[in-house]
Amino acid sequence: MSLTDILSPSDIAAALRDCQAPDSFSPKKFFQTSGMSKKSSSQIKDIFRILDKDESGYIEEDELKYFLQRFEGGARVLTMSETKTFLAAADHDGDGKIGAEGIDNFKYR
């Protein structure tokens, strides 16, 4: 399964265009523009599994900085500031990673 099985390629492209410049990434806007915010919990879990590159059941800071590249290989890496802000917004138990069990926090609805 790939992200384009769940999300529209044109929506993904639009979301990536919106955050090309360093420090322009907004998780909420990205989720809205890419269509992720409109997906069911099941679909979000599928997206989470795709983004969890090491298949640990968590998305850690190191994986999160490559978040945009999971959507398109040539996309930029998130800055340290963007990564920290994104992680803080989605990591509600403070363990430094985003768990699959907290996937609804990941949706930015």
46 annotated as ligand-binding: no
Cα(37)–Cα(109) distance, rounded to whole angstroms? 5
Tell me the three state secondary structure of residue 98. strand
63 annotated as ligand-binding: yes
62 annotated as ligand-binding: no
5 annotated as ligand-binding: no
52 annotated as ligand-binding: yes
93 annotated as ligand-binding: yes
**Token pair in block for residue 63:** 């994986």
81 annotated as ligand-binding: no
Cα(39)–Cα(104) distance, rounded to whole angstroms? 11
18 annotated as ligand-binding: no
45 annotated as ligand-binding: no
Cα(43)–Cα(36) distance, rounded to whole angstroms? 9
Annotated binding site: 52, 54, 56, 58, 63, 91, 93, 95, 97
Annotated binding site for Ca(2+): 52, 54, 56, 58, 63, 91, 93, 95, 97
